[in-house]
Every structure is written in C-alpha cells, then in structure tokens.
Amino acid sequence: MPTQIHRVQLQTLPVTAKEIADEILNDDSVLSLYRQLQGIDPIRRKSQELQEYSLQDGCIFRGERVYIPPSLRSRILKELHVGHLGIVKCRQLARCFVYWPGIDSDIQKEISACTECAVNAKDPDRVKPHPWLPTEEPWQRVHFDCAQFESKQMLIIVDSFSKWVEVYQLNSMSASKLLECLDECFSRLGFPLVCVSDNAPQFVSDEFSSFFKTNGIEHRTSAPYCPISNGQAERFVQIIKSGLKTDKIGSFQERLNRVLLSYRRAPNVVTGKSPAELLFGRKIRSRISLVLPVKKSDTKLPSNVKRKFDIGDLVHFRLYSGSQKWSTGKIQKKAGDVIYYIRFNNQVHKRHVNQIRKASSSIPNCRDETNFEFQVLNENEDQPVVRDFQTEENVGHGSPSVSPNARHVSPNVSLNDSPKISPNLGPRRSKREKRKPIRFSP
C-alpha cells in the first residue's frame, strides 16, 4: 500500500547529522574513508577527488554535501522525494545537501519505482507556452490563475522571475474573494509591476481593474479563450495538482503545505536556484536540512543584558509584600543571563535582573531588614511573576524552566537544595490586591 509506506515515511524522524556521524563508525568502508581523510592534510592529498572532501562534527563532506553512509541512503532517497518531485528536481535538491557515489542513478531508480508518480504521470506537453519576456528581478511580473482540484478551488499566483508560488484555497471564486487573497499576498510580498491572468469574468471585472489601478499595477490578460498563453500560471496549476495527486496524507491544506514547501526549497530547472533563494536570498529549511550539522554559533543568541552581577556582589533586591520595597543581600548563584539567586539571612531569593540593583559595598546588612525578611517568609505572601519578566527580555539562556502553569514562583529556595521551583506553591490565588511589578531602571 503506497499510502501506508508514505505514512511510515512521514512519521519517521528525518536523518540528522548526529545519526550520520554514528553510522560512519558502524560502516567499515565509510570509516576507512574517514580515517584516511583524518590522516592527511587536504592540500597534500594526491587525488583530486580526495581534495574535495572535508570533515566536520564527525561527518564527511564532499564540497558542501554530506556523505551519506549506505545504511541511511534509502531514508534520504525517501526524504528527497517528499512531495513527489521529479528526477531533475530531486537531483538538484540532492546537490545542495547530500552525496554518495551513484546517487544520481539511485534517485532515478527510487522515482521510477514510485507507484504514485507512475500512476499520476502527466501527458507530455503539446503546445509551447506563450513566450513572455524574461524578468530581471523578483516580483516584477506575477501570473495568476484559478484551478479546481478534488472539489477545492484554488487561486495560484506565480512570480515569473523566482518561480515562487502562492496558493490560496477558496470557498468562493467571486471577484471580491479573489481580490482579498491577492491583496493579502501583496501585503507580504509587495505590489508587482505587472499582473498577468486569463480573461475569466472575475479577472476583467470592474472590481479587479479598480484594484490594479489604485495600487499602480499593470494588468495584462492573455489572448481570449487561450489560457495556455498565461503559460506560467497554467504550468504551476499542473505542478500543484500533480503534487496533490501523489500526496494523500492529511487534510487538503496539509498536503498543499507539503507540496509547496518541497517545491519552494528545490532548485528550479530553469533558474538553477530554489524559488526561496531567488525571492528571499536564502535557502528555506526543511527536514532534509537536518543532515547538515548545526553551526554552533547559530544556536545561542548574543546576550543583550548589560546589567550583570557577580557571585558575592552586595545587591538590593525587590520585595513584594509588606511596605518595604527593597532588601539587601549577596548574589549566591547565577542562572543564565537574567536570573540570580540572592542569599539573605540564611534564605535564597530568586530574582530577575530587573528586580536587582547594585548596593554600595559600604552598606552594612542592617538588623531591621533581617527581621522584616523573616516576617515575609513566614507570611508566605504572593510573589512576583517571574515568567512575565522573562518573556520581555532574553528568555532562556540557561535559566531554570518555569512551568506555564506555575504563574507564582516561590523565590525562596533552601540553601541545601539546588535552585528549583517550589512544587507546593503552584497556581494559588492570592487574597491580596495584585500590584504590577515595579521595575527599577538605573
């Protein structure tokens, strides 16, 4: 059952760089290549082919392509063929990511054996599309057309330069509904100079001509009764339909999304680049991108927290009950860039950086603050909402995770435990009137 095969394929996790590195160690032939490359400086490699190889994170690269060990090749072939792209597109996609000797013929075999592709193969082209002049930059001229598939109606919009395609599923093909979609699309990608469509009654309606006029778009229509002369859109109607025919898992929109992602990230036969690269200047990520090791520097955002405290610093920290707003203690521990644990009077208080300010080192730890603090702890009063602070700036960075339900987090942590959120102070309704946390700004 082809559908079952694809369900398994879609539910299987994609191949990751880590898995590839592990598999290299399990495969004698690839491991010997790895060892060989490890032992020789790239410049001193005699063979031209070996000079193209490099190593990173336990993976072998040929140029920019990851070398896939034999045991993972069949999964990669399935991944390349998601969306049932044709042989040329699959090979071009492979050239951006993966390599092994004989990959091109393996791709051909994989696709030739795909039952769904065979069943849904389209008729060969009989008529040459209308020769529109080539465009020089993205979104200069877009072609649009309507199509119907499995009782669903769609508006398909194509950029003639990048071949980027947008598809809207519609309940109605009225001029106003179609214009709503065009307008939404143009709100994201801007107005094109020229729009091309056929002569469908909606497209030549007053509403359409007024929309184009108002927005400074030239509207050209193809020859009457000759939809093929709007070749760009017509061709993409076929591409989307054949993608949908072969992908039968999930809702119509889910299938459409998969077909669109596959198409948008794959290099185009005419341009040699993916539509995303030509329109946005970047490759878009998909499951196949996981074969590439993640650049370490990409995983952590640079810190934008300017105020920092060191362990042992004397600080004032905010209190949230009683009449006194601030108390004084010493930084005991840091958790990421914004969370600090402050020791005061044999207790540890968890505070966000916005709730702390530096204290002069000459201030003594005065007695009445100590007494006051005991009172606060015993009262077990309502506490500030740490999550709200975290969402405002620099979330994460190793700060302890806070359950979404734990709105009220106990800032008091026993010195003997590692800092953690008190489990018995989960969502709890305070009887006290709630006040907004007052932020200290230096």
Residues that bind Zn ion (CB under 5 A): 84, 114, 117
Q: Which is nearer to Zn ion, 120 or 153 (CB)?
A: 120
Q: Which long-range contacts (CB under 8 A, 24 or more apart) does 8-15 make?
A: 9/78, 9/82, 10/82, 10/249, 12/75, 14/79, 14/287, 14/288, 14/290, 14/291, 15/68, 15/72, 15/75, 15/76, 15/79, 15/290, 15/291
DSSP assignment, residue 367?
H
Q: Closest separation between CB of residue 164 and Zn ion, Å?
A: 23
Q: How far apart are CA 370 and CA 392, in angstroms?
A: 31
Taking the complex as a whole, the smallest distance from the CB of residue 303 to Zn ion amounts, in Å, to 47
Residue count of the chain? 442
Instruction: Give whichever of 15 and 90 is closer to Zn ion, judged by the CB atom.
Output: 90
Alpha-carbon span 113 to 128, nearest angstrom: 29
Q: For Zn ion, give the closer residue by CB, 81 or 351.
A: 81
Least distance CB 239 / Zn ion (angstroms): 14
Smallest distance from Zn ion to CB 79, Å: 12
Q: Are 196 and 140 in contact (CB under 8 A)?
A: no
Q: How far is the CB of 81 from Zn ion (least distance, A)?
A: 5
Structure tokens at 323: 């009449």
- CB of 78 or CB of 141, closer to Zn ion: 78
Encoding tokens for residue 94? 């492979």
C-alpha to C-alpha distance for 91 and 37, rounded to whole angstroms: 26
Give the list of residues 6+ apart from residue 432 with CB closer than 8 angstroms, or none: 321, 381, 382
Taking the C-alpha atoms of residue 208 and residue 121, their distance in angstroms, rounded to an integer, is 36
Nearer to Zn ion, 86 or 400 (CB): 86
CB of 116 to Zn ion, least distance (A): 5
Nearer to Zn ion, 109 or 439 (CB): 109
210: tokens are 């007024």
- What whole-number distance in Å separates Cα of residue 347 and Cα of residue 341? 10
How would you classify the pairing of strands 141-149 and 194-197?
A: parallel
C-alpha neighbours within 13 Å on the C-beta side of residue 57 = 13
Lookup result for tokens 């230096």:
442
Cβ closest to Zn ion, residue 114 vs residue 244? 114
**CA-CA distance, 297 to 276, in Å (whole number)?**
24
Closest to Zn ion by CB, 84 or 351: 84
Nearer to Zn ion, 108 or 371 (CB): 108
Query: Rounded to the nearest whole angstrom, what is the least distance from the CB of residue 258 to Zn ion in the complex?
Result: 13
115: tokens are: 């039952």
CB 109 to Zn ion: min, Å: 12
Distances (CA, A) of 380 to 101, 148, 377, 437: 68, 64, 5, 17
- Measured from the CB atom, the residue of 5 and 294 that comes closer to Zn ion is 5
Cβ 242 to Zn ion shortest distance, Å: 10
Distance of closest approach, residue 42 Cβ to Zn ion, in angstroms: 38
Beta bridge partners of 258: none
